[in-house]
Chain A
Amino acid sequence: MSSQIDRIEGSGIPLRGDNIDTDRIIPARFLKAITFDGLGDHVFEDDRAALADHPFSNPVYRQAKVLLANENFGSGSSREHAPQALKRWGIEACVGESFSEIFRGNSLAIGLACVTVSREAVEQLMSLVEAAPDTPFSLSLQDRSLSADDLRVEIGVDNSVRDALLNGTWDATGMLLDDFDVVRGVAERVPYIRGF
Chain B
Amino acid sequence: MGRTLLQKVWDLHTVRKLPTGQTQLFIGLHLIHEVTTPQAFDMLRARGIGVAFPGRTFATTDHIIPTLDQSRPFEDPLAETMLAALEKNCAEYSIPFWNLDSNHQGIVHVIGPELGLTQPGMTIACGDSHTSTHGALGAVAFGIGTSQVRDVLASQSLAFDPLKVRRITVDGQLASGVFAKDVILEIIARLGVKGGVGHAYEYGGSAIEAMGIDERLTICNMSIEGGARVGYVNPDQTTFDYLRGRPFAPQGEAFDRAVSWWGSTASDPDAAYDDVVEIPASEIEPRVTWGINPGQSVGVSDTIPATGAGVDEALAFMGLSGGAPIQGTKIDVAFVGSCTNSRLSDLREAARIARGQRVAAHVNALVVPGSQAVRAAAEQEGLDQVFRDAGFEWRGAGCSMCLAMNPDRLEGEQVCASSSNRNFKGRQGSPTGRTLLMSPAMVAAAALAGEVVDVRTVMSHV
Contacts and interface: CB of A to CB of B under 8 A. Distances in A.
Chain B interface extent, by class: 35 or more
A122 B192 CA distance: 21
Interface string B20-61: 111010101000000110110010000101001100100000
Nearest to B153: A173
Interface stretch (B73-81, B234-242, B444-452): B73-81
A79 interface: yes
B440 interface: no
B121 A159 contact: no
Nearest to A32: B78
B129 A77 contact: yes
Contacts of B15: 179, 182-183, 186
Interface in A58-91: 71-72, 75-81, 83
Category for how many chain A residues contact B: 35 or more
A196 B258 contact: yes
Given A78-B127, A195-B254, A182 B36 contact: no
B20 A163 contact: yes
Contacts of A35: 38-39, 42
B64 A29 contact: no
Contacts of B146: 80-81, 106
A50 B430 CA distance: 12
Given A35-B39, A163-B21, A102 B145 contact: yes
Contacts of A172: 147-148, 151, 158-159
Given A46-B431, A78-B144, A23 B121 contact: no
Contacts of A27: 426, 431
B147 A19 contact: no
B414 interface: no
B293 A75 contact: yes
B144 A102 contact: yes
Contacts of B26: 183, 186-187, 190
A192 B403 contact: no
B313 interface: yes
B19 A163 contact: yes
Contacts of A18: 309-310
B229 A179 contact: no
A131 interface: no
Q: By CB atoms of chain A within 10 A, which of B26, B150, B154 has the most? A: B26
Interface in A16-42: 17-19, 21, 23-24, 27-29, 31-36
Interface of B: 12-16, 18-22, 24, 26, 28, 35-36, 38-39, 42, 47, 49, 52-53, 56, 64, 76, 78-79, 81-82, 85, 119, 121-122, 127-129, 131, 143-148, 150-151, 154-159, 161, 193-194, 197-198, 224-225, 227, 229, 250, 254-255, 257-258, 261, 293, 309-310, 313, 403-405, 422, 424-427, 429, 431-432
For the complex of A and B, 8 pairs with smallest distance between CB atoms = A80-B145, A106-B145, A109-B147, A34-B38, A46-B431, A78-B129, A176-B155, A32-B78
